């Protein structure tokens, strides 16, 4: 069974514990700028939204890499960068529609979330449960149900106001 990250932005407090855990796991230092997960801040609204690689089924980064440095981990399903193969051309950063692949200037290679080999440290560090690691088949269905419920409530409220 493959799993994926499930992010619930409404639970995020902006504490950046996920960024610190990620940078320590992958770079050996507590430095949010080195993290593979980022928390976007909507200052005017007081909201925070964690985001990272979604491990797309049809990963454009993988397809765009001219040297085949991005491969699928058969166990986790993560699209992983083979640093020994990566030439740092950054084509994958352009191909990613979400902007979740970054160039590491120190190494001259690209980096992205690899799900920490199946034990994502961002999940372990999140004190509010805004980031969870779930069965990949369940995450999309839950979001569709949530959206449908909100849409039904909005539609019902709009209909009752119109009538």
Asked if the domains at 1-52+117-155 and 56-112 fall in one CATH topology, the answer is: yes
User: Can you tell me which residue has the tokens 């902006």?
Assistant: 14
Task: Answer whether residue 157 shows pLDDT above 60.
Answer: no
Class level of CATH domain 1-52+117-155? alpha beta
The answer regarding whether domain 56-112 maps to CATH 3.90.1720.10 reads no
pLDDT in tens, 92-130: 999 999 999 999 999 999 999 999 999 999 999 999 999
pLDDT in tens, 66-101: 999 999 999 999 999 999 999 999 999 999 999 999
| pTM assigned to the model | 0.81
What are the residue ranges spanned by the domains of the chain?
A: 1-52+117-155, 56-112
pLDDT in tens, 1-18: 688 999 999 999 999 999
Alpha helices, DSSP H, located in the chain: 17-27, 60-64, 91-95, 121-125, 136-162
Assess contact for 114 and 101: CB atoms under 8 A.
Answer: no
Of 82, 83, 84, 103, nearest to 92 by C-alpha is 103
In the structure, what pLDDT confidence band is assigned to residue 145 with cuts at 50, 70 and 90?
Answer: low
Round the average pLDDT of the chain to a whole number and report it.
89
Percent of the chain at pLDDT above 70?
85
Residue 27: alpha-carbon gap to chain centroid: 18
């Amino acid at each position: 069974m493959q799993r994926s990250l499930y992010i619930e932005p409404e639970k995020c407090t902006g504490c950046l514990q996920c960024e610190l855990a990620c940078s320590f796991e992958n770079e050996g230092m507590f430095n949010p700028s080195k993290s593979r997960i980022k928390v976007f801040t909507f200052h005017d609204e007081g909201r925070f939204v964690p985001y990272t690689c979604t491990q797309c089924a049809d990963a454009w980064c993988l397809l765009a890499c001219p040297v085949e440095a991005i491969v699928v981990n058969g166990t986790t399903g993560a699209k992983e960068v083979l640093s020994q193969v990566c030439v740092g051309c950054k084509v994958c950063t352009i191909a990613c529609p979400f902007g979740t692949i970054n160039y590491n200037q120190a190494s001259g290679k690209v980096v992205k979330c690899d799900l920490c080999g199946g034990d994502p440290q961002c999940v372990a560090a999140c004190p509010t449960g805004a980031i969870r690691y779930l069965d990949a088949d369940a995450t999309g269905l839950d979001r569709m149900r949530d959206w449908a419920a909100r849409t039904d409530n909005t539609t019902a409220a709009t209909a009752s106001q119109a009538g």
